[in-house]
Amino acid sequence: MKIIVTGGAGFIGNHLIERLLDRGDSVICIDNFFTGQKKNIERFLDNQNFSLLEHDIVQPLKGVEADQIYNLACPASPIHYQYNPIKTIKTSTIGMINMLGLAKKCGARILQASTSEVYGDPHVHPQVESYWGNVNPIGIRSCYDEGKRVAETLCMDYHRAHNLDIRIIRIFNTYGPNMHPQDGRVVSNFIVEALAGKPITIYGDGSQTRSFCYVDDLVSGIIAMMDQDGFIGPVNLGNPVEFSMKELADLIIALTGTASEVTYMPLPQDDPKQRQPDISLAKEKLNWEPTIDIEMGLKKTIEYFKSV
Ligand code: NAD
Ligand code: UDP
């Protein structure tokens, strides 16, 4: 198959491209390199089934065709999506419309990488797909959360209006090798601090929870969703094992053997208190569930950060 991956030079994108190339697909990576890195895709450059298009999805795209489009383009870390919030919204709205238009033109199936952030600071726990969420529309996270919610709406409207073949996945916190050391997300921050022997910075009192999925598990779920017929989603993809940030810090301290202490900083505005995916739907429809536990995943990730 001929497959477009937008955001392919990013953290999840490069793992996805590797899996698609390995099974023999031909892949066009589209990226504007805002948070993506050339080094993430360098290993594909000699592969004749791989091509790179440096392009911003906010601009219309012509002259490319595909059977499938994975739309991953969007900064995912709070520091990056808040850096230029208007650009973040444009990416999830104008960029989404451009990619839906492209899918319509070439008759491609399109998968949108949505997020657990559509649930905001959730009152339903664990989060089920039928929950509409608790999102602040005017806060500093809104450019990302509301942008992704509009992107889901656009997918559904193109589906209803044009019978477009869509898939929507809601990704929960994912980690693993090839995260950018300065990405700003909690797993990379804690590991980089632990390996440098610097204090581990917890925002707030560390009681807020997240559920962390290893990237290889996530990529299996993403491809399973794209390749099945008849279920458009949205579907939660994540690891349901929930940790507080204090527990995560303690685990990373133990696994790295660092002498780092824990230090506390103010909690950012609208930081969700809890997050855990209900993955019953993914189990039922995709026969998917994560297989890599947090200790194994963190060990692989720590090895990666040691090597860079
Ligand atoms: P990332 O920041 O590493 O990758 C995003 C990629 O998109 C980068 O390569 C970036 O350069 C590119 N990009 C951004 N804006 C673009 C634009 N306008 N045009 C073209 N390319 C653009 O993030 P990631 O963790 O790999 O996330 C990938 C996708 O998955 C994102 O859509 C994100 O919202 C979603 N997601 C990720 C997580 C997670 O925990 N990693 C959780 C929920 C959702
Ligand atoms: N966090 C933290 N220290 C850091 C980075 C993040 O304590 O150095 C906290 C953050 O406040 C949040 C959780 O860890 O409660 C997850 O943050 P991340 O940015 O990784 O993802 P998100 O908030 O989008 O789930």
Give the residue among 174, 169, 306 at the shortest CA–CA distance from 228. Answer: 169
Query: Could you list the active site residues?
Result: 144
Q: What is the predicted pLDDT for the residue at 282?
A: 98
Q: Indicate which ligand has the atom closest to the C-alpha of 247.
A: 2
**What's the pLDDT score for residue 279?**
98
Question: Under CATH, which number does the domain 2-174+215-239+277-291 receive?
Answer: 3.40.50.720
User: Among residues 1, 11, 5, which one has the least CA distance to residue 178?
Assistant: 11
Pocket lining: 214 vs ligand 1, CB cutoff 6 Å: no
What Cα–Cα distance (Å) separates residue 141 from each residue in 70, 82, 214, 251, 272?
Answer: 24, 7, 24, 28, 10
Which residue CA neighbors atom 27 of ligand 1 most closely?
A: 76
Ligand 1 centroid, distance to 257 Cα (angstroms): 31
DSSP strands (E only) in 11-127: 26-31, 50-54, 68-71, 109-115
Nearest to 7 by CA among 106, 91, 122, 78: 91
CB burial string 161-188: b at 16+ within 10 A, e below = eeebbbbbbbbbbbbbbbbbeebbbbbb
pLDDT of residue 306: 97
- Name 125's Cβ contacts closer than 8 Å, sequence gap at least 6: 274, 276
Checking phi first, is residue 229 left (phi over 0); if not, alpha (psi -120 to 50) or beta? beta
Write out the chain's pLDDT in tens, 308 residues: 999 999 999 999 999 999 999 999 999 999 999 999 999 999 999 999 999 999 999 999 999 999 999 999 999 999 999 999 999 999 999 999 999 999 999 999 999 999 999 999 999 999 999 999 999 999 999 999 999 999 999 999 999 999 999 999 999 999 999 999 999 999 999 999 999 999 999 999 999 999 999 999 999 999 999 999 989 999 999 999 999 999 999 999 999 999 999 999 999 999 999 999 999 999 999 999 999 999 999 999 999 999 99
Tokens, residue 221:
């779920």
pLDDT, residue 303, reads: 98
Looking at domain 186-208+241-275+298-307, its CATH architecture is: Alpha-Beta Complex (3.90)
Residue type present at position 60? P
Residue extents of the structural domains in the chain? 2-174+215-239+277-291, 186-208+241-275+298-307
Residue nearest to atom 12 of ligand 2 (CA): 271
The DSSP secondary structure of 151-165, one letter per residue, reads HHHHHHHHHHHH---
Cα angle 101-105-106, degrees, rounded to a multiple of 5: 120
Ligand 1 atom 13: residue of nearest CA:
73
Q: Is 174 in the pocket of ligand 2 (CB under 6 A)?
A: no
